[in-house]
Amino acid sequence: MPQVARIIGGAGTGKTTYLLERMDAALSTGGYTPFDVGFCSFTRAACLEAARRAGAKFDVDPADLAQHGWFKTLHACCYRLVGIKGNQLLAGNKKDREWLTAALQEEISETGTTPDLLYGNGDDVFAARTDADRILSLWSTARSRLVTLEKVWEPARYCDERTPDLARCREIVARYEQAKRIDGRIDFVDLLGRYAGVRWSDARGPRETTALGDIPDVPVWFLDEQQDTSPLLDRVSRRLVSRARWIYLCLDPFQAIYGWNGADARCAMGWPAKKQQVMPRTWRCPAPVQQLGGRILRSCTDYWDRQIAPAPHRGEITAAGWREAEWLERICDEIRHPTSTTASGGRQPPDQHANRVTTATASRATSRRPTHMLLARSNYHASRIARRLDALHIPWLPTTGQPNRWNAPVRQAAIMGFRIAQDGYMALGPWRQIVRQIPSEGNLVRGTKARFEETTPSGIAAAEDSGTPGGDEWLSIETSRLTEWGATEALIRRIQSGEWVSLIDGAAAVLRAIDDYGPDAVESPRVLVGTIHSAKGMEADNVYLLTTLSHQVIRGMETTAGADEERRVQYVGVTRARHRLTLLQEGDARYAMDLPT
């Protein structure tokens, strides 16, 4: 029987890093190779980071481990073991959206078919835009919980009037399941169910069936972020690791915030653990933030004191009015004049635990830790924050990593190229991006776009021939000679006069931001905006939390489980802060977080 070790860590305690250290120890002293170890988390980036760590010890290519080893998400493990063909799986792309629209005879939005909403990683079911989107999201949740559709529909209907009636939900589900059977399609929940030995034919709930796929012969498994597993994922996990000698479960039951989507921390807490370890200190949250988080959690019905010590550095909690300008002015000033001081004004001590921020976290937004993170409880309120930043031309990125006006590398490179060209020179690399971005008519001679798709465009000397350092992309030419690279005389005049701005959407806002905050703030924005759910696992020196709530959240808190989950959401929100937490309070808001400050 496998021996289970459970690792519990609060926000910023480095539980994932500790898990990776345990993996290093197993590889160093246990006589195992990286192919004898399995590592599962909920993002591919986290699995790749683990593969990188393991590969470095044995000089194994992380890509080989990711492909041929067991450094995968649970979904990817099931995909490999069950042997599903690529064209069977509904993955949320354009073709799948078209198939769904035709099969259901219903409007399906791009948002509604993404894996985040259909398969369990989104932060708001009702970010979906159409009735069919919402119904498919509810059906995904019901299957993840291994319950009937009605069981999920009832609280959803009570909390949100946008929930379609039950008869319509059943009708869409019936069409969806029938269409999948006829065309031989499955979605990610079906994939998990096949490995777990569960199937669905209608809204009445799951039925037991023969589990498909082999159980891998892997002696050591590391399962991260297990508070986010649903009953279905828990069944998958237990079967997957059933031949192991050692299993390490890593979780924080008080960061379980996806209950509405099927997750239940009691699944992982129910594993028979031979050993349980609580991480003793947070390296992120200073005393005021850590203490506020603790007070929030004490109201949970299942609260127990993990006795986590605060981080050694200083910090503070402040409050500001949502409509006040002072907190926005502070952000603007700190973007213009970045410092290495803490929120309390002292010099920041050497960050000996900076490496605890994983590649998985960093890759979601910026390559450097963000200095400011602005969070809200819902997508709607996060969009309100974004609009206020946009009004001041403050560069920011979504916590989800999705593109916005400040996260469009091709466009940004084109804008920077035009700026340099106004001073008299153009480099080949930026010119390629300009050619991609601008309309050909009146600006480029015929064939220019195709010409500059080539590695070394015809008629341009290679860098090694011209002595240009840095490769061909830094070959340069005088702006007045850009006709040699396919520009029209009209485009050259637009560049020299500054009228090029009209050729690229959003260029004026980018230039205004460069003037106000400097090019570094635009090229590498260090301000993040998003919902609490989307920021889970992330951190920033300064966090601004909008405390306004929706009536849907308030209704959801009327049950004990709903109230407990909302407190955990608030805990996750406040504990993103490394130094300063600012609570943005909207005086006339009908509903707001009742934080025990």
182-191 pLDDT, tens digit each: 999 999 999 9
Determine how many CB atoms are found less than 10 A away from the CB of residue 45. 16
Residue 486: how many CB atoms within 10 A of its CB?
A: 22
Phi-psi region of 311 (alpha: psi -120 to 50; beta: other; left: phi over 0): beta
Higher pLDDT pick, 410 / 593: 593
pLDDT at 361: 36
Amino acid at 530: G
| Nearest-5° Cα angle at 71, 69 to 73 | 125
Q: Could you say which architecture CATH assigns to the domain 3-83+213-279?
A: 3-Layer(aba) Sandwich (3.40)
**Average pLDDT of span 3-21:** 93
* Average confidence (pLDDT) over 285-298: 98
Model pLDDT, residue 457:
72
Greater confidence (57 vs 272) lies with 272
Mean local confidence (pLDDT), 292-303 = 97
Share of the chain above pLDDT 70, in %: 89
pLDDT beyond 80 at 115: no
Common-topology check for domains 3-83+213-279 and 288-406+525-585: yes
pLDDT(328) > 50: yes
pLDDT value for 481: 94
Assessment of whether the complete model's pTM goes beyond 0.85: yes
* Burial per residue of 257-291, b for 16 or more beta-carbon CB atoms within 10 angstroms, e otherwise: bbbbbbbbbebbbebebeeebbbebbbbbbbbbbe
pLDDT at position 74 is 96
Q: What confidence category does residue 364 fall into, taking pLDDT thresholds of 50, 70 and 90?
A: very low
DSSP conformational letter for 580: E
Per DSSP, the three-state class of 181 is: helix
For 452-467, how does the pLDDT look when each residue is reduced to its tens digit (9 = 90+)?
A: 987 667 667 543 344 4
Report the amino acid identity of residue 457.
Answer: P
Please list the alpha-helical segments (H only) found in 59-184.
62-68, 74-82, 94-104, 115-118, 131-145, 149-159, 166-183
- Domain ranges across the chain: 3-83+213-279, 90-191+199-208, 288-406+525-585, 409-520
Q: Is the confidence at residue 121, as pLDDT, over 50? A: no
- Report the pLDDT value the prediction gives residue 461, as an integer from 0 to 100: 52
Written in H, E and C, the secondary structure of 397-412 is: EECCCCCCCCCCHHHH
In this structure, are strands 3-8 and 425-427 parallel, antiparallel, or unpaired? Answer: unpaired
Percent over 90 (pLDDT), the chain: 72
Q: What is the pLDDT of residues 65-112, one digit of tens each?
A: 888 999 999 999 999 999 988 789 998 888 999 999 999 999 887 654
- At 380-427, the pLDDT tens digits run 999 999 999 999 999 999 999 888 889 888 888 899 899 999 999 999
Nearest residue to 214 (alpha-carbon basis) of 42, 85, 83, 76: 83
Long-range contacts of 551-554 (CB under 8 A, 24+ apart): 551/590, 551/591, 552/126, 552/159, 552/160, 553/159, 553/377, 553/378, 553/591, 554/591
- What pLDDT sits at residue 562? 95
Residue-averaged pLDDT of the chain? 88
Whole-number Cα distances in Å, 412 to 181, 448, 507, 524:
46, 20, 8, 11
Q: How many CB atoms lie within 10 A of CB 66?
A: 19
Does pLDDT of 358 surpass 70? no
Helix (H, G, I), strand (E, B) or coil at 528: strand
Mean pLDDT computed over 358-368:
39
Q: For position 473, what pLDDT does the model report?
A: 63
Q: How far apart are CA 566 and CA 546, in angstroms?
A: 15
Q: How is residue 368 written in tokens?
A: 């450097």
Q: For residue 283, which amino acid is it?
A: W
CATH fold of 288-406+525-585 reads: Rossmann fold (3.40.50)
CA 186, CA 172: separation in Å to the nearest integer? 16
Is the confidence at residue 8, as pLDDT, over 90? yes
Q: Which of 113-122, 181-190, 459-468, 492-501 is the least confident region?
A: 113-122
pLDDT at 536: 93
Predicted confidence (pLDDT) at residue 355 exceeds the cutoff of 50:
no
Q: How far is CA 46 from the centre of its chain?
A: 11
Q: CB atoms < 10 A from the CB of 500, how many?
A: 24
Q: Which helix (H) or strand (E) element contains residue 376?
A: strand 372-376
Confidence (pLDDT) at 85: 83
3-state class of 222 per DSSP?
strand
Q: Are 335 and 527 in contact (CB under 8 A)?
A: yes
**What's the mean pLDDT in 209-231?**
96
CA separation for the pair 369, 522 (Å, rounded): 15
Q: Mean pLDDT over residues 297-305, rounded?
A: 97
Q: What is the pLDDT of residue 56?
A: 86
Residue pair 253/8 in contact by the 8 Å Cβ criterion: yes
pLDDT at residue 458, as a whole number: 66
> What is the distance between the alpha carbons of residues 575 and 540, in angstroms, rounded to a whole number?
10
Does residue 542 contact residue 579 with C-beta atoms inside 8 Å? yes
pLDDT at 454: 75
**Strand 316-321 to 275-278 pairing:** unpaired
The Cβ of residue 320 has, within 10 Å, a number of other Cβ atoms equal to 16
Contacts of 32 (CB under 8 A, 6+ apart): 26, 219, 220
Integer Cα distance of 167 and 386 in angstroms: 38
Please give the DSSP secondary-structure letter assigned to residue 186: B
**Amino acid identity at 242:** S
